Structure 1
Amino acid sequence: MLKIWGRRNSINVMKVLWVCEELALPFEQIDAGMQFGVVNTPEYAAMNPNRKVPTIDDDGFTLAESNTIVRYLAARHGREDLLPTDARARARIESWMDWASFSLAIAMTPLFWQLIRTPGNQRDPKVIAANATEAERCMRILDDQLAGQPHLAGEGFTLADVPAAAFVHRWLALPIERPALPRLEAYYRRMLERRGYRAHVAGPLS
């Protein structure tokens, strides 16, 4: 059985758990990281020298980095609807995955940590304001991309949606003022129709 190391409240672990649901893959999730420890053990470092989560073990094959993991799982199980073999179609999907994990994450990660994981008296209003502004800029990009199509790479749900939709849930759940972005909000409602998204992504922030 596929083993997945990581905390369920890690956005990168969420992506892997969600895709496992999309693939109907049975898995064993093992708590690791932050309060659970594990990542600094020699055994974990042997699987993932970066000592981050998630890491998977698929019948003796270990792999780290969430976007790489979900691409591997989709390819291994022949899900060309999620990740086509056509070079151009695949590149379009991967570009949105990378954009969300870099451009969007650069703003959303410190914003999330300040508002959810930092005690109120230790929060930095300047950090919150600056990252909220940048996160809004990115969410407007997503809203524009969804004009005339239901998903980021076109008509169908693909891996392009996984990293971005994970951040969309956090954006809409954070205690901040947000502009009305109707296409993004409709997209979020579509994601909520997916069992894996409801089960592994769209929960309380922690």
Structure 2
Amino acid sequence: MLQIWGRETSSNVQAVMWCVGELGLTYQRYDVGHHFGGLDSEAFYQLNPNRTIPVLQDDNHPPLWESGAILRYLASRYGQESFWPKDIFARSEVDRWAEWAKVSVSSLFTQPIFWQLVRTPSQQRDPAAIDQAIARFEDKLAIAEQQLSQHPFLAGPVFTLADIQFGHLLYRYYQLNIGVGDFPTLHAYYQRLTERPAYQRHVMVSYQPLQVS
């Protein structure tokens, strides 16, 4: 059984849990982080000296941290060929879109937009900076719009790890109702994701516990 440390309201934890759900794996998840605490404990330090979530332990192997590394591990060990190809060239196509989603897209959303609108008191927010951040983020969404106009999924014709890394952000983006760009293909893609049981269970999670006024 997989052991996973991390609260369900963490977007990085959500990506890992969505992957676990899609792969049909048995797991035990432990709530740590934010108001649950626990990151400062010596026991958690032994799991991850960075004191960040998520952390995964599988069997008696050493703990894994960093969500991208965890996702690639799960895909490599448990994923089907279509989800994480064995052929190096096919896999690199999936991996480049997964890495793009993690590095180029997520970094433009989580802290400059989500944290500002949800986790920052209203009197401390900078509306102009938020508007600029949304514009930069939607420049990346335009790339996804173009890619998804050619394929039903981000890296091609089938659902892959790249969709996990990218798609989990879209729930919060659409829930915040901040978009000004016209992305009909992206929205249709998002609607298809919301029909997946694992997405419903692990990604469509209220972020109300993180909200500050």
Distance in 2 (CA, whole Å) between partners of 1:77 and 1:105 is 25
Q: Which amino acid aligns with 2:36?
A: F
Match of 1:34 in 2: 34
Segments ≥4 residues shifted beyond 3 Å: none
Distance 1:175 1:186, change over 3 A: closer
**Deviations 1:134-185 (Å, cap 9, x if unpaired)?**
1111111110110121001111000010111011222111142422211100
Match of 2:148 in 1: 146
Distance in 1 (CA, whole Å) between partners of 2:8 and 2:35 is 12
Mapped pair 1:10 → 2:10: yes
Shift of residue 127 of structure 1? 2.2
RMSD: 1.3
**Deviations 1:54-102 (Å, cap 9, x if unpaired)?**
0011112211111211211122125222111111111111111111111
Cα pair 1:39 1:52 within 8 Å, conserved: yes
Which ranges of structure 1 fall in alignment gaps of 5 or more residues? none
**Deviations 1:2-54 (Å, cap 9, x if unpaired)?**
11100101110001111111111111110111211212222211121111100
Cα pair 2:2 2:26 within 8 Å, conserved: yes
Percent identity reads 41
Alignment length (residue pairs): 206
Which ranges of structure 2 fall in alignment gaps of 5 or more residues? 209-213
Cα pair 1:7 1:33 within 8 Å, conserved: yes
TM-score when normalising by structure 1: 0.95
Match of 2:181 in 1: 179
TM-score when normalising by structure 2: 0.92
Match of 2:67 in 1: 66
Match of 2:84 in 1: 83
Distance in 2 (CA, whole Å) between partners of 1:19 and 1:176 is 27
